[in-house]
Amino acid sequence: MTDDGFFREVNEELRTDKMRAFWERYGTVLIGAVIAVVIGTGIFAFYEYYTERQASQSGDKFLAALNLVREGKNDEAVAALAELEKDGYGAYPVLARMRSAGVLAQKGDLAGAVAAFDKVAADGSIPQSLRDLAKLRAAFILIDTGSYDDVANRVQALAADNNPMRHSAREALGLAAWKAGRGEDATKLFQQISDDQAAPGNARQFADQMLDLLKSTGASPAAAAG
């Protein structure tokens, strides 16, 4: 045997011995790691399947409840939404609460609707955007059934210049002010909407109509000055 062949055999033996020693020392750990990866992958796949299935079922129930509302079956819709609120998955329990409050308003239970929206608005576990929307919904009901302060207590903060819901909040405040005989406040609020280039076109159009109405009825300070 040549020296090169001898050294190759020695190196191969050394590598084999090292692999055997490595396996004896770490083999159990490696097997455990492989098993953990397999189990983890299986659990993740099952979780994805489970969440998609639960979300799909909740979505179907929510659509079914909306169909009941469209058919005028409000009592059945409220019952279906209450069940979804209790057993629904993901965002559907919150959506069910919001829609249920809306159904109460449709049924004429305005006080119950306001209370339901207020409960959503006060729930710290709900995303802030939905809580703010609940405040707006309650405020628009209270334009007709409450006082200016009732409306302002819910949406005054939302009327700030940097708030994305400021147009709707100012509209609610403007209508409440107009109803309360506070023409100057109403004019200021509708003028803010009209001047805001970021406001939706329909919101600005309605604000302009209200400004014309306030002026024609003498409720606007500009009309009084004229």
Distance CA 82, CA 153 (A): 28
Give which of 14, 33, 13, 31 is closest to 23, Cα–Cα: 31
How is residue 165 annotated by DSSP? T
**Digit-coded pLDDT (tens) for 156-177:** 999 999 999 999 999 999 999 9
Residue 139 structure tokens: 């405020």
| Range 86-103 average pLDDT | 83
CA distances from 39 to 28, 30, 44 (A): 16, 14, 9
Q: What is the 3-state secondary structure (H, E, C) of 77-92?
A: HHHHHHHHHHHCCCCH
Please provide the average confidence, as pLDDT, over all residues in the chain: 81
For the segment 12-17, the average pLDDT, to the nearest whole number, is: 57
Q: Which of 65-69, 94-98, 159-163 has the lowest mean pLDDT?
A: 65-69
Q: Are 174 and 152 in contact (CB under 8 A)?
A: no
What lies within 8 Å, CB to CB, of 202 at 6+ separation is none
Dist. CA 78–CA 109, nearest whole Å: 12
Whether the predicted pLDDT of 96 surpasses 90? no
User: Is residue 219 a contact partner of residue 183, using CB atoms and an 8 Å limit?
Assistant: yes
| For range 212-226, the mean pLDDT | 72
Q: Would you say 167 and 140 are in contact if contact means Cβ atoms under 8 Å apart?
A: no
Residue 59: pLDDT band with limits 50, 70, 90:
confident
Spans of all domains in the chain: 8-108
Could you tell me the CA-to-CA distances from 121 to 2, 59, 117, 190 in Å, in that order? 87, 23, 6, 25
